Amino acid sequence: MRHFGYLSASETGALFASPPEPFHRRSGRELLSVALGATLYMPATRPALAADIVKQATAGVTSVVVCLEDAIADDQVAEGEANLVAALTDLHDEPEAEPPILFVRVRHAAQIPQLVARLGPAAAVLDGFVMPKFTATSGTEYLHALDEADAMAGTALLAMPVIESGAVLYAETRVDELTRLRALLHRDRRRILAVRLGATDLCALYGLRRSPDLSIYDVKVVSSLIADVVNVLGRADGSGFTVTGPVWEYYAGVERIFKPLLRSSPFTEHNEPELRGRLLDRAIDGLIREVLLDRANGLIGKTAIHPSHVAVVNALSVVSAEEHRDASDVLRAGRAGGVLASGHGNKMNETGPHTAWARLTMLRAQAFGVAADDVSFVDLLAASLSR
């Protein structure tokens, strides 16, 4: 699969100096974790689940989580499991189907081998499992269940644990819990694709819910945890994991209190003034701001609960021409050290401190491409939303 694969050759040539490269489930954990981009969650009870997965893949979704947990009611679990098994079997039996990177979010560890057993050969279309309420205690059970599923199906399934428990949020237990989580995840490092953050469940522990005027970084009890998770689990020294951004809950018109967060000039300059109005009507300006804050705080990719969010997150993931030039200069300088003037004459590039950033930028460029000169997020999003 390839990000922006729905664009024509002429559109791709006009928008990208270097187009996104194809990737697949065997591309390697480092690249694949970055290439996830916006990961779309779907309830397992959707009536046309297999068709919807293929439809979203055709529309540009490259990673999907089918949810058996919070997305469905407690009395729908058996129905959801049966529907999931039928859908994945259909995908496996249809040679023309091109599913995205595909995960299942379970409710408890025992579901993992149970589902793999029910899927039989169709487990081949499954890339792994999302593990909710993942703690240093429950995590051991989850990972053992994944071992059992691998042995049963002859696969190498990946894991995406979700950090969303009171043990990791509460101040008196946080350091110990994060330390134990890090040790557990390192023991199974080969199969941990990314660590996800369950902001909705974390907010629920204090009866909180952010409005569309605010980002998760304005909710201090949760933003302080995000900083600590990145501190312990997201280090750039080779010991860290990809940590993904939490969900943005809004996708339709809502009452606003504060001024819009999108300047009008970029949209006017790129001949897309109507696009700004459409984004504001759906509170997408809040999502855009949060994605930028995610990246500034060390998060990569984002959970999405609506297809309209996918194009936004992925368009913002494209590496700009300026970013690519800076990253290339830093990596070209290598270990020599020192400070370089940016090719754009607007910043310094310090080769030592900026090397980890440059390497991550090149991974992002491989997955999402490098925009052509004078092409902005506005152009990329306009092309994506016009499909």
Dihedral sign, Cα of residue 14, residue 15, residue 16, residue 20: negative
When pLDDT is averaged across residues 173-182 and rounded to a whole number, the result is: 98
Q: How far is the CA of 204 from the CAs of 3, 69, 191, 349, in angstroms? A: 34, 16, 29, 42
Token output for 342 = 């940016």
Residue 95 above 80 pLDDT? no
pLDDT value of position 63: 97
Find residue 43's DSSP bridge partners. 67
Tell me the pairing of strands 16-18 and 339-341: unpaired
Q: Where do the domains of the chain lie, and which CATH numbers do they carry?
A: 21-317 (3.20.20.60), 319-387 (no CATH)
Choose the weakest-confidence range: 52-61, 196-205, 336-345, 361-370.
Answer: 336-345
Identify the pLDDT of residue 363. Answer: 97
Query: DSSP character for 242?
Result: -
pLDDT band at 255 (very low <50, low <70, confident <90, very high): confident
Question: Residue 312: its pLDDT value, please?
Answer: 95
Q: Is the pLDDT reported for residue 258 higher than 90?
A: no
pLDDT tops 80 at residue 100? yes
- Identify the three-state secondary structure at position 53: helix
* Arithmetic mean of pLDDT, 96-113: 94
Q: Is the pLDDT of residue 336 over 70?
A: no
pLDDT > 90 in the chain, percent? 82
In this predicted structure, which of 5-19, 216-230, 328-342 has the lowest mean pLDDT? 328-342
Q: Is the pLDDT assigned to residue 358 strictly greater than 80?
A: yes
Residue 54 region by backbone torsions, left for phi larger than 0, else alpha for psi between -120 and 50, else beta: alpha
The angle at the Cα of 90, spanning 143 to 122, to the nearest 5 degrees, equals 35
Residue 259 has pLDDT above 90, yes or no: no
pLDDT at 173 over 80: yes
Residue 366 has pLDDT above 90, yes or no: yes
Query: How high is the pLDDT of residue 335?
Result: 65
- For the segment 262-297, what is each residue's pLDDT rounded down to a tens digit? 899 999 999 999 999 889 888 899 999 999 999 999
